[in-house]
Amino acid sequence: RRWGFTLAGELRAAEARDPHRPAIIDEHCGAITYRQLLHRAQRLAVALGGTRGVAPGVRVGLMCRNHVGLIEAMVACSLLGADAVLVNTALSAPQLTAVAEQQQLRLLIHDREFAPVAAAAPCERLDESRVDALLAETPPQGRWTDVSRAGRTIVLTSGTTGAPKGARRPTPPGFGPLVSIIDRIPLNVGERILISAPLFHTWGYAALQLSLAMRATVVLQRRFDPVATAHAVDVHGCTALFAVPVMLQRLVEAGAVPAKPPRVVAVSGSALPGGLATRFMNTWGDCLYNLYGSTEASWASIATPADLRRDPGTAGRPPHGTRIAILDPTGLPVPRGRIGEIHVGNEMLFEGYTRGPGVPPPPGDRPDGMLGTGDLGHLDAGGLLYVDGRADDMVVSGGENVFPRPVEELLTQLPQVREAAVIGVPDPDYGQRLAAYLVLHPGQHLDRDEVREYVRHYLARFSVPRDVHFVPELPRTATGKVIPRLLRTM
Ligand code: ATP
C-alpha cells in the first residue's frame, strides 16, 4: 500500500487482489473490471499530464453526475498528484465561476449537459466527449511511473448557509475509519453497492472510498429516479444502497420496493425524519442506517435499524474511534438530555478550507482537537445522539428558543402534507417568528388556521408558525437539504 488509502491507492490494492471483479456497473457503459478501471485511469492520467499540463499541485474541477467517467477522472488526478475539486452539479454559471476562481482551477472536466454553465468558467474546459477523444488518442500504458505523491480530493460543502467552501479531505490514516464503519454496518468484501448519493458530495465520496476499500462492485445511475433505482437493485442484485434521506421519501411515495431489498440502506447528508425512517423500514425491511456527519467532520455517528426502531429520530452513536461531546457556549459539557453544540473528534476531520481568508481554522488548531459542527444536539440517558438542528436555524421568538425540526416533523404527519419546512423570519415584536412552507399532495387543501390549530394542539404556543405558505416545491441542495435563504425569497 505505497499510496495508502488514497483513491488511487485503494484502486490499486483492489486491482491487485481482484483484477477481474466488476468495479463499476454504469447504466450507459455497462460493467468494467478493477483492472480495466485502473488501466483506463492510467491512460487518462497520461493524456491529461501530456496534453493539459495536469501535474502535482494543479487543481482540476470535476462537474459530473454519477458515472464511470467521473471515477476515472478522480483516479487520474490522484495518480498525477493533482487535486480533484468535486463540483456540485447544481451550481449556476456565476457560482461555478466563483468556485473556479476561489479554488484556482486550471482545468474543468464536465458532463456535456453542463457546457452552458461551464462556458464562462475562467479555466480550460473539457467535456466528456473530448475526454473520450483524448483517451482514444492515447495508447494503452505498458508501465506506469508514479509521481512522488498522490493527489488530494477537495469536497465543496453544500452551500446551505452561503457560498460553498472547499474542504480538503484527509487520506484515511489506516484501516481504522473503515473498520469503525463496518463494525456498525454489516458490509462485506465484494458487496454490490448502488451509490445514489451524488459522488461530488462528501457522503457519496465517502461511499466510494468505502466501496473501493471493500473491493465492492459499484452500481451507478446518472440521475436518481425511485422506480429505476428499485429496479436497478433487483437487476444488479445490489446488497447495499447509499442514498440521501429525500431519496427515501421519493421511494416511499412512488411505492418503489425491490423484489429483494438490499441488506443495507445507508443515508446521510441531511436529517432523516423519524416518520420517514419508520415508513421506509415498514416496506424495505430493517435495513436502514442513518449516519450523521458533515464535509468537515466526516461521519460522526451511526444509527442502526435497531436504534431507529427504538427511536426513529435518533442519529445513533459514535463509531469506534470517534468522540462526541455536547458543549455549552463556554466550552463546558452540558448534562445528558440538555442541548448544546455537537463537537466531534476523529481521524477523519477535514484539513482546512481551501477558500480565501476569514474562514474558520482547521480543527487541529483547537486545544482538544475536536471540531465544533455548528449543529445543536443532545444525548439521551442511553447515549444516543439527537441532532436538534443547526445553530443558525434556531429561532429565538419572544425570548424562547424554538427548533424548526420538531415542527416540521409534526406538519409532515398531516395527511395532506407532502413536505414541510419551517424557518425564522424577522418580527418587529418578537424578534423572530416562525414561518411554515408546505407542499401539499396533489388535490389536497388545507386552511392556514387549521395548520396553526393542529400545531397548537401538540406543541408550545411559541412553536406555532404565524406565517403559513403553500408552495409548489421546496428549494433543496443536492443532498436534499432545504435552503432557507431561497425559501425567504419564495
Ligand atoms: P454549508 O456548510 O456550505 O452551509 P452544509 O453544512 O449543508 O453546507 P454538508 O457538510 O453537506 O454541508 O452538511 C452537513 C450538515 O448536514 C451537518 O452539519 C448537519 O447539519 C446535517 N446532517 C448531515 N447528516 C445528518 C443526519 N444524519 N441527521 C441530521 N442532520 C444531518
**pLDDT per residue as tens digits for the range 353-394:** 886 444 555 555 566 788 999 999 999 999 999 999 999 888
Distance from Cα 489 to the centre of ligand 1, integer Å:
22
Distance from Cα 269 to the centre of ligand 1, integer Å:
5
Would you put residue 146 in left (φ > 0), alpha (ψ -120 to 50) or beta? beta
- pLDDT at residue 29 greater than cutoff 50: yes
Task: Give the CATH H-level superfamily of domain 394-487.
Answer: ANL, C-terminal domain (3.30.300.30)
Summarize the confidence of residues 167-180 as an average pLDDT. Answer: 81
Q: Are 279 and 350 in contact (CB under 8 A)?
A: no
Q: What is the β-pairing status of strands 385-390 and 371-379?
A: antiparallel
Q: Say what the pLDDT of residue 149 is.
A: 75
> Looking at ligand 1, which atom is closest to the CA of residue 165?
3
CATH of domain 7-379: 3.40.50.12780
Ligand 1: which of 308, 371, 481, 483 to mutate, most ligand atoms within 8 Å of CB? 481
Q: What share of the chain is helix, strand, coil (3-state, %, to 5)?
A: 35, 25, 40
Q: Are 201 and 155 in contact (CB under 8 A)?
A: yes
The response to whether residue 217 sits with its C-beta less than 6 Å from ligand 1 reads no
Closest C-alpha residue for ligand 1 atom 16:
270
Distance from Cα 294 to the centre of ligand 1, integer Å:
5
Would you put residue 427 in left (φ > 0), alpha (ψ -120 to 50) or beta? beta
Percent of the chain predicted with pLDDT > 90: 71
Q: Is the ipTM of this complex over 0.90?
A: yes
Report the 10 Å Cβ neighbour count for 366. Answer: 16
Cell of 28: 450507459
Q: What are phi and psi of 478, to 5 degrees?
A: -65, -25
Q: What is the tens place of the pLDDT at every residue in 317-339?
A: 999 999 999 999 998 999 999 99
Which residue from 443, 420, 72, 399 is spatially nearest to 249, judged by alpha carbons? 420
Q: What is the tens place of the pLDDT at every residue in 61-73?
A: 999 999 999 999 9
The response to whether residue 88 sits with its C-beta less than 6 Å from ligand 1 reads no
Q: What is the tens place of the pLDDT at every residue in 215-248?
A: 999 999 999 999 999 999 999 999 999 999 999 9
Q: Say what the pLDDT of residue 250 is.
A: 95
Q: What are phi and psi of 251, to 5 degrees?
A: -65, -45
Ligand 1: which of 294, 296, 375, 485 to mutate, most ligand atoms within 8 Å of CB? 294
Cell of 217: 462492485
Sheet of strand 340-345, all strands in order from the earlier edge strand to the far edge: 323-327, 340-345, 371-379, 385-390
Q: Are 475 and 443 in contact (CB under 8 A)?
A: no
Q: Say what the pLDDT of residue 140 is.
A: 76
Q: What is the tens place of the pLDDT at every residue in 6-15?
A: 888 899 999 9
Distance from Cα 270 to the centre of ligand 1, integer Å:
5
Domain boundaries, the chain: 7-379, 394-487
Distance from Cα 456 to the centre of ligand 1, integer Å:
29
Q: Calculate the dihedral angle through the C-alpha atoms of 44, 46, 49, 50, rounding to the nearest 10 degrees.
A: -120
| DSSP secondary structure string for all residues of 305-327 | HHHHHH-TT--BBPPTT-EEEEE
Beta bridge partners of 431: 427
Lowest-confidence range among 1-10, 104-113, 420-429?
A: 1-10
- The type of residue at 36 is Q
